[in-house]
Structure 1
């Protein structure tokens, strides 16, 4: 018997199917549909009888035309077709099936013996050929075999379709991934890259495939990258989160630039292996890896790191980084047995600039100062901002301490040049303390502390200079600490005393007022002037209780001589701006006046002109409250600060005092002293009282009197004196 069968699926695919699954069991849920076509009724009935009871859905057609109608109306899995029929023969039916792409397999059941009929059926896609007569077993076997192969082919097609869908999904996920996905061959050349890799690197896919990975790496990272891109480890031992730098073309692929840029990637890589014929002998075939662009994160980390160790305003190292660099410099100096210098710089009068021009200009000044200081340093020196207006410097590898002195002189010279702050020309200076390692300290904190002590020594001596640390400065510091401690107890021990310097009407020589000045009768050091202890009082907060003591003492003393007929005498008291900002200032003054029965018109409060600029609105409110109380206001040391005629016009001020520094310049009665003349003109124009301070010679008195200033105070007339002496002068 001749049979023609198509080839089944490969043994490899059959081996991949689960062993327990029987796709051809008669209990399978799909019921095969069979069409039996034969124009001999007995043969048709015989075919139907042999196939019934096998789980098939059977339809019959007694003619070729009927078979065509069935094929159009229904779907069949298998057609058992006779070739020789009267109207439409079997070949024509198969042509119809092929023409209309009907998915049905055909088994020819025919009694035709000629080979041409069999060849014609085979060419038209017949699955098998049964020659009549045939046995039931042969028929059943042929049908079952055809259905089995059909279902295997359908399963194969479904699996192929699923694989195609899966591959499309995989390709979409891979190409749409935000990460670069690649594969390298065992030689280190790219065998696959996804779309993202092309976009990130700026190359077409064809340009990357076959290219060696080293051509994309930053030169400094090639050696470190070899074990990553040639990764042979698997599982938990695979390379993870390794950061490398790669070069990529600048700009998009469509508009490439000639240059390249550097990108930082975080790389995960795992080796790919192929098993040999012998067990447990893997062969390395390449690397599979995923890389992510972390350039933005690296830049952010760099910014965060920079901000953690640098001052935001000046971009200089902060105190943390400064101490780290100082520590390294000390290690090198110890190893090389050389010296280094630590400088502590504090800007003089910076607070005044900040208060008068505002914090924006103050910040601009700090930035300009930082730039000037940097210009004076070597490449290996470190300039840092400690905070506020304080800077620190490390000068390593000194040949001698004269090197540090030269640098300090450069600083002072550069800082004395004017600064332009929004059109305002500002002059400042600096106090610089210098400590030498290892002579002045062998630790970071010790060197900084001693440089700081030297800087304060410069400030105490008049500022605008530099000084090297000396052990004697430590003794002076201890004395200052002791002075501050004793000052806290001075109030309790009644060691403070008020002195009075009379103010004279130069025309008549009559005393018309006096300025109250505080003194400290120290039990060991004797009489201490206010310039020596009031700065400590302001820094420690003692200025508040001391100022309240001054107000109370002044009113008490006025009550003492008030009965002597000197009601017209006015007493002025110089109060600290820090105390004038205090909330209890007005209440304290009012309470003291009421307690001692003093008329407020006999009191004048002296303030420096800078308080009017530091917080104008607050100053206006405070001074207006004093005016409502009846207390007059005088500006002390006029002309030495940032004067403003607008402030003089707006503020409730009755008196201005010419500072003694201008008065002391007068040496010729016929000379021209424009500042003094200008202040006198201002007082006249604003209808303000005028007092000249520090008058010590007749020439000064005559000049002032000749140009319209008749109220004076100074050593020419009287020195400051205790209350008893002042009362004696009044009664003389």
Structure 2
């Protein structure tokens, strides 16, 4: 009873039961003693196998593997020592307890030398024997668990080594002095240095001199846990290893994003403080991302065609100049420059040659301005210039005359001379306005005044020139009547998948049948609609018309077909915007996925949370969202992760840079890479030549639109193409039938 209580107490302390019952070999030539031992061991869960001789024991060893053996030394056919030798010869390693009546000390020593766990002399105390059996099994269990732990540890270490060395990131450790104590194998591919070249070197030896202060601050902070340094960007030196895979190295340096965590010893039992041991960190190469962000950011502030500042940067600089002029009681002048007869050149020679002339015009204008002046291209053939720190109006007149004289010289295009001129309006601070908008608007009015007087000249703004704004009032009245008279019509420009040469969608483009001006494109009247506050009404009309046309086309196969309609920022800001969209979809019974809403990227930085909420509701309802004119304005790439976009549209201004002679378009490459990284569809607009199509297709852009494929056509033409299985493209585009559609209009 006592030994049963002991075993029960030991069972309570044992861990979870093994998946197999321990197997015991009982070898004794006395049947009575074997049976007695077997009965004694019933209180322990064992799979007991008995043998009365050495031969029987050897036979059982050949059939099974044993965890424990109770072995008598005095057997009729062989000694217990011989059986122990046979056990080892068979590659088994059970725990062996010798149970023998032999009192010879040499027998006991021989058994122990052969690895016996214990030696019990007959007669024995049952409780003592049971305790020894239990101890042997416990030792066996602990040894097995220890082997498993060592195996798991070895496997874990191998896996850790593999993960660390195969990581796409550089993983390192620094000692408490800031010297490399460990670097994974990624170092050579990323930095061009072998691990051995970095070990023992101080990390500051590899940091760009302009980033030394930030690097020292990051490492000296020694933060850990949630306060550890995160996403610190540093420029690091590169080696010259041929194994280096990075091609974004600039001036011998690349940019990394770094996470650094301080390493400390555990707090000692006697209360001594933790000791700083060094730093653990992970570095990721972000050079390509930084280059792409720089490209996108650059083109947010600069004109892609001329490399001049765009309207955004011009206004920023003008705002600063106004502040400085106010503080110093100085004057400044703003010029609005519009080219005369440029449309004739553009229509005669085409868009590519027109762009060539604009680049030459920009170069000539830059040669006329002073250091400190800002020249910008506002769009099309419109330029703006402001002159800070002038003393009198005649200072601006000197620059204006230089510009007129410079542009009078002939331009040579296709070995033919062309002549253009320009009209210049001038507004002065502070008498003509105190804000960038008012100065630019008044310079614009002065420019229109000189155009009405015969062009090719300049004039200063005067209050009586504002009568020209009467034209705006006339256009506003005409627009309001256009709604009542039903003068708007929706045209559609097909979008093609160049891999299948089939139409996969189209973009809705609004037209106005003006009673006296004829058919007007969106770019010709949208500005007036925005000025008159009619843009929301126009968006509502366009959305309803697109839904109506989609319903009419429903008889055709519209799977994988979509119609994109541009949405004004003001319309998106409307409180009932989401409900109006969904009500139209429901009322006309169209599939939500066939409707794609295009928004311009500048929406992304206005009321971000509201924009995300509205667009997410529409996306959850099945509608597609596209970002238009990507790269022409500034918006953080971080918002692309948060906004539910499906498509990025490459602006036509980037596509126009691609031609037969210079197939270089780094911004397009960056945009396609960003879209691919975010899992978004990408469409290029403004494709006009086979070279542009082939170049874009090579970069991975499959979907395109432009005059190479088709001009905008009435809805009836789209229905005809849908009836012919989405009208496969036959390569016969219509580049000569170009219309001045603005990609930012409905």
Please give the range of the TM-score, normalised by the shorter of the 2 chains: 0.5 to 0.7
CA distance in 2, matches of 1:253, 1:442: 59
Describe the shift of the 1:343–1:485 C-alpha distance in structure 2 as closer, same or farther (beyond 3 A): closer
CA RMSD of aligned residues (A): 3.8
How far 1:334 moved relative to its partner? Answer: 3.0
Segments of 5+ residues of structure 1 without an aligned counterpart are: 1-18, 490-539, 545-732
Describe the shift of the 1:60–1:231 C-alpha distance in structure 2 as closer, same or farther (beyond 3 A): farther
Structure 2 equivalent of residue 32 of structure 1 = 22
Which residue, out of 359, 366, 372, partners 1:367?
Answer: 359
Structure 1 equivalent of residue 599 of structure 2 = none
Describe the shift of the 1:53–1:431 C-alpha distance in structure 2 as closer, same or farther (beyond 3 A): closer
How far 1:250 moved relative to its partner? Answer: 5.8
Equivalent residues of 1:270, 1:289 under 8 A apart: yes
Corresponding position: 1:102 with 2:92 = yes
How far 1:378 moved relative to its partner? Answer: 4.1
How far 1:341 moved relative to its partner? Answer: 3.0
Describe the shift of the 1:227–1:124 C-alpha distance in structure 2 as closer, same or farther (beyond 3 A): farther
Matches within 5 A, 1:548-697: none
> Is the partner of 1:225 in helix, strand or coil?
helix
CA distance in 1, matches of 2:303, 2:194: 45
Which residue, out of 288, 292, 296, partners 1:296?
Answer: 288
How far 1:391 moved relative to its partner? Answer: 0.7
CA distance in 2, matches of 1:185, 1:225: 16
CA distance in 1, matches of 2:414, 2:332: 38
How far 1:384 moved relative to its partner? Answer: 0.5
Equivalent residues of 2:97, 2:119 under 8 A apart: yes
Describe the shift of the 1:29–1:358 C-alpha distance in structure 2 as closer, same or farther (beyond 3 A): closer
Structure 1 equivalent of residue 310 of structure 2 = 318
Describe the shift of the 1:24–1:36 C-alpha distance in structure 2 as closer, same or farther (beyond 3 A): farther
Per-residue deviation, residues 115-162 of structure 1 (Å, max 9, x unmatched): 554444334322222344433232222111111111111111122222
CA distance in 2, matches of 1:436, 1:186: 63
CA distance in 2, matches of 1:59, 1:30: 15
Structure 1 equivalent of residue 525 of structure 2 = none
How far 1:165 moved relative to its partner? Answer: 2.9
> Is the partner of 2:136 in helix, strand or coil?
helix
Structure 2 equivalent of residue 136 of structure 1 = 126
Structure 1 equivalent of residue 325 of structure 2 = 333
TM-score (ref. length: structure 2): 0.56
Equivalent residues of 1:250, 1:260 under 8 A apart: no
Structure 1 equivalent of residue 256 of structure 2 = 265
Corresponding position: 1:249 with 2:272 = no
Structure 1 equivalent of residue 723 of structure 2 = none
Equivalent residues of 2:190, 2:244 under 8 A apart: no
Corresponding position: 1:435 with 2:431 = no
CA distance in 2, matches of 1:410, 1:20: 103
Structure 2 equivalent of residue 306 of structure 1 = 298
Describe the shift of the 1:192–1:486 C-alpha distance in structure 2 as closer, same or farther (beyond 3 A): closer
| Structure of higher RCO (CA pairs closer than 8 Å, 6+ residues apart) | 2
Corresponding position: 1:148 with 2:173 = no
Equivalent residues of 1:231, 1:287 under 8 A apart: no
Structure 2 equivalent of residue 410 of structure 1 = 402
Which residue, out of 150, 160, 181, partners 2:150?
Answer: 160
Equivalent residues of 2:97, 2:120 under 8 A apart: yes
Equivalent residues of 1:231, 1:270 under 8 A apart: no
Per-residue deviation, residues 676-699 of structure 1 (Å, max 9, x unmatched): xxxxxxxxxxxxxxxxxxxxxxxx
Per-residue deviation, residues 11-68 of structure 1 (Å, max 9, x unmatched): xxxxxxxx9973279x866432211223455654554454344332222223323222
TM-score (ref. length: structure 1): 0.57
CA distance in 2, matches of 1:113, 1:344: 119
Describe the shift of the 1:29–1:541 C-alpha distance in structure 2 as closer, same or farther (beyond 3 A): closer
Structure 1 equivalent of residue 380 of structure 2 = 388
Matches within 5 A, 1:35-184: 35-39=25-29, 44-85=34-75, 87-113=77-103, 115-184=105-174
Segments of 5+ residues of structure 2 without an aligned counterpart are: 1-9, 478-513, 519-746
Describe the shift of the 1:352–1:30 C-alpha distance in structure 2 as closer, same or farther (beyond 3 A): closer
> Is the partner of 1:253 in helix, strand or coil?
coil
Larger Rg computed on CA atoms: 1
Structure 2 equivalent of residue 220 of structure 1 = 210
Total equivalences in the alignment: 471
CA distance in 2, matches of 1:360, 1:169: 57
CA distance in 1, matches of 2:12, 2:175: 39
